[in-house]
């Protein structure tokens, strides 16, 4: 019994480590281009709008691929889709490094979006089916932490190498890094086996037991579930807020409080670090308290209050960095419980499809957020960034409450 328990624990640790590594690399690739914008602007005489369009295309493509790849995960299994995604990220960096104009830069962004789109359906399908239920909150926590670390490392890695050598060398180094990760995943492929046929068979059996005599439901039946679309809205709203802060907080803080843009960027870094730290705490809380809706609601309410105080200029400039760290902590603590809520809304046998649809809201929000808040800032309303974020956080609480209520009424068997 002890040996079996130890073996299961070791297997969980390996799966969590491999998927966290892959997830961190996908977030790293979110930011391989923005740190190089000064070099790309000078090299190809591009406008900021043209540079920004590269990222918009990246996230729109990722949104489409994420929604579609979930169905592929449920058809052929998660492992081959994961390998394809990592390989496409490496290929995108190679294409970008060899660019001789805007067309190849755009092609590289499209390839990167295709690679990035597979990770959430793949990762969450494997986590939910390969990791023991008691360790799921810790798995979600580790998965999220590495994502934030990927965001933190990319600007330093890319800009540092570009400054020391060349922007093309920086992209080639990113390609080498992603290739090494693919090699690690390949040599540990035995830990990532996912039997899609078994998942489908189990789902059919569970549905028959729950509803004897009823015809099997379509693979697309989950699209009728209110809880699935509420989860989509949750991620859509949350990423509008996050993308707005990441894009324009330094400029808004400069206009509101006279904080230098460099110091504003430091506040963004503090928020990312706070999120990473919060996810560690949040994983423990999710495992021990088992009250995901209350944890999510409390943390998001605290974040909304802080955002409101900043937007209403009720605080001093000296307090802003600490408040950003607190916002990050709140979002991080909520994240593992949020993922537990999403899991509870996932019908058995179609986890890849559900996660693909639900998490596509992240990419669409990332495309909409900067445009929405950019228009408001162009109109001379820097307060609107933080007031808008506060409003979105309150919307997220309402959405989370609706998810819990919908889960209680859903009729399809859930992921075990």
> Which stretches of 131-260 are DSSP H helices?
136-164, 167-187, 196-210, 226-257
Q: Calculate the dihedral angle through the C-alpha atoms of 331, 335, 338, 339, rounding to the nearest 10 degrees.
A: 160
**258-317 residue pLDDT tens:** 988 778 877 877 888 899 899 889 989 988 888 888 999 999 999 999 999 999 999 999
Buried/exposed code over 316-330 (b: 16+ C-beta within 10 A; e: otherwise)? eeeebbebbbbbbbb
**72-114 residue pLDDT tens:** 888 888 899 999 999 999 999 999 999 999 999 999 999 999 9
pLDDT band at residue 218 under the 50/70/90 scheme = low
Residue 299, C-beta contacts closer than 8 angstroms, at least 6 positions apart: 330, 331, 333, 334
Q: Does the pLDDT of residue 416 top 50, yes or no?
A: no
Cβ atoms 353, 71 nearer than 8 A? yes
How far is the C-alpha of 175 from the C-alpha of 278, rounded, in Å?
30
pLDDT for residue 409? 62
Task: Please count the other Cβ atoms lying within 10 Å of the Cβ belonging to residue 156.
Answer: 10
Cβ atoms 337, 292 nearer than 8 A? yes
Q: How far apart are the first and last CA of the chain?
A: 22
Summarize the confidence of residues 197-206 as an average pLDDT. Answer: 59
pLDDT for residue 363? 85
**DSSP secondary structure letters along 6-44:** HHHHHHHHHHHHHHHHHHHHHHHHHTSSGGGHHHHHHHH
Summarize the confidence of residues 172-176 as an average pLDDT. Answer: 97
How high does pLDDT run on average in the chain?
Answer: 86
How far is the C-alpha of 86 from the C-alpha of 116, rounded, in Å?
8
In the chain, the largest separation of any two C-alpha atoms, in whole Å, equals: 68
Q: Which residue has the tokens 């230098």?
A: 260
Cα 330 to the chain's mean position, in Å?
Answer: 16
SS3 211: coil
User: How is the chain split into domains, by residue range?
Assistant: 6-192, 223-407
Q: Does the pLDDT of residue 223 top 60, yes or no?
A: yes
CATH class label, 6-192: mainly alpha
The domain defined by 223-407 folds into: Growth Hormone; Chain: A; (1.20.1250)
- Nearest Cα residue to 122 out of 355, 344, 358, 413: 355
């Amino acid at each position: 019994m002890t040996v079996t328990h130890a073996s299961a624990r070791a297997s969980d640790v390996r799966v969590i480590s491999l998927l966290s590594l892959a997830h961190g690399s996908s977030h790293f690739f979110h930011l391989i281009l923005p740190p190089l914008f000064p070099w790309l602007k000078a090299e190809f005489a591009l406008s900021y709008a043209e540079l920004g369009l590269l990222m918009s295309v990246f996230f729109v493509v990722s949104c489409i691929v994420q929604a579609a790849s979930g169905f592929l995960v449920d058809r052929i299994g998660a492992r081959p889709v994961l390998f394809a995604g990592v390989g496409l990220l490496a290929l995108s960096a190679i294409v970008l490094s060899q660019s001789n104009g805007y067309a190849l830069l755009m092609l590289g962004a499209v390839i990167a979006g295709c690679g990035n789109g597979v990770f959430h359906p793949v990762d969450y399908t494997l986590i939910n089916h390969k990791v023991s239920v008691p360790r799921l909150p810790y798995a979600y926590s580790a998965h999220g932490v590495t994502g934030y670390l990927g965001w933190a490392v990319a600007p330093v890695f890319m800009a540092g190498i570009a400054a020391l050598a060349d922007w093309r060398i920086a992209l080639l180094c990113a390609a080498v890094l992603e290739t090494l990760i693919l090699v690690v995943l390949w040599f540990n492929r035995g830990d990532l086996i996912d039997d899609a046929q078994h998942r489908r068979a189990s789902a059919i059996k569970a549905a028959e037991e729950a509803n004897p005599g009823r015809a099997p439901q379509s693979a697309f039946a989950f699209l009728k579930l209110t809880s699935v679309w509420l989860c989509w809205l949750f991620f859509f709203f949350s990423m509008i807020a996050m993308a707005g802060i990441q894009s324009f907080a330094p400029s808004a803080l400069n206009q509101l409080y006279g904080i230098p843009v460099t110091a504003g960027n430091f506040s963004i870094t503090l928020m990312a670090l706070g999120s990473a730290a919060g996810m560690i705490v949040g994983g423990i809380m999710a495992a021990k308290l088992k009250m995901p809706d209350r944890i999510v609601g409390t943390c998001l309410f605290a974040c909304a209050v802080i955002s409101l105080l900043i937007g209403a200029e009720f605080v001093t400039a000296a307090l802003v960095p600490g408040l950003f760290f607190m916002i990050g902590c709140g979002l991080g603590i909520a994240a593992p419980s949020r993922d537990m809520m999403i899991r509870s809304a996932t019908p058995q046998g179609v986890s890849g499809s559900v996660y693909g649809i639900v998490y596509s809201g992240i990419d669409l929000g990332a495309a909409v957020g900067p445009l929405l808040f950019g228009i408001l800032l162009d109109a001379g309303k820097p307060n609107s960034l933080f007031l808008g974020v506060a409003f979105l956080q309150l919307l997220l609480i309402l959405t989370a409450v609706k998810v819990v209520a919908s889960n209680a009424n859903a009729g399809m068997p859930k992921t075990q």
